[in-house]
Amino acid sequence: MNLFNLLIDHINQIGAIALFIIGLYTVITHNHLIKRVFGINIMGTAVFLFFVSIGYVKEGVVPIYGNEEAVYVNPLPSVLILTGIVVVVSITVYALGLVVKIYEGYGTLDQVEISEKMSEAMRDD
């Protein structure tokens, strides 16, 4: 029962770590380039979830000044993560742009095939 309560209390952190591992696994094991971009996005979401959940206070309210009785949620992590989201979006856009160009050049999105074609080109030099 104790373990169960522990799990329930830290469900956001456990979820974040699980997502992080799923993302990392996707990036490392998949050869498909777009799936790698997905993996990065999942990893990013995991970190953001973790960061935001640090600032959460049980039964806290939105930190708008005026409601003096209430307990506020810590706004700083949310503010920081807004920046983080923007950054990951721009990374995704750039990565997808590169994927389009790679597909135009090699005609495939599979990392293994691309590596083979690259090493062939190097041998020809």
Partner 1 sequence: MIEQIPLINLLILVTTALFMPLIRKFDFRYTKVLGLVSFLAVFILSIISFYDVYTNGMFYYHLGGHAPFIGIEFRIDAFSSFFTLFIGFMMLLYYIYAVRYMFHEIKGKQHNRYYTIVFLLVFASFGLIYTNDLFNTYVFIEIMSITACAIISIVRKKQNYSAAFRYLVLNEIGSLSYLFGVALIYMITGYTNIELVAQALEEGYLLYPANVFIAMAFMVVGLSIKAAIFPLHIWLPDAHSTAPIPSHAILSAVVLKVNLIVLIKLLYRVFGVQILLDLHMNTVLIVLGILSMIMGSFFALAQKDIKRILAYSSVAQVGYIVLGIGFLTELGLYAGLFHIVSHGIMKSTLFLSAGMIIYHTGVRNTKKYQGFVHILPITITLMSIATLSMIGIPGTSGFISKFNLAMASLDENMGYIIIFIVLSGLLNAMYYLPMIITSILDNHESNMMHYEVDKIPKTMLIPVMVLGALILVIGFYPQSITFFIEAATDALIGGV
Residue 118 within binding range of partner 1, rule CB under 8 A: yes
* 61 three-class SS: strand
Residue 50 within binding range of partner 1, rule CB under 8 A: yes
Single-letter amino acid code for the residue at 81: I
Complex with partner 1: residue 5 or 50, whichever CB lies closer: 50
Tokens coding 46: 């995991």
Q: Which window, 2-10, 19-27, 61-69, contacts partner 1 (CB under 8 A)?
A: 19-27
- The dihedral built from the CA positions of residue 93, 94, 100 and 106, taken in this order, carries a sign that is negative
Q: Which long-range contacts (CB under 8 A, 24 or more apart) does 55-63 make?
A: 56/12
Residues found near partner 1 in the complex (CB under 8 A): 20, 24, 27, 33, 36-37, 40, 43-44, 47, 50-51, 54, 76-77, 80, 83-84, 87, 90-91, 94-95, 98-99, 101-102, 104-106, 114, 118, 121, 125
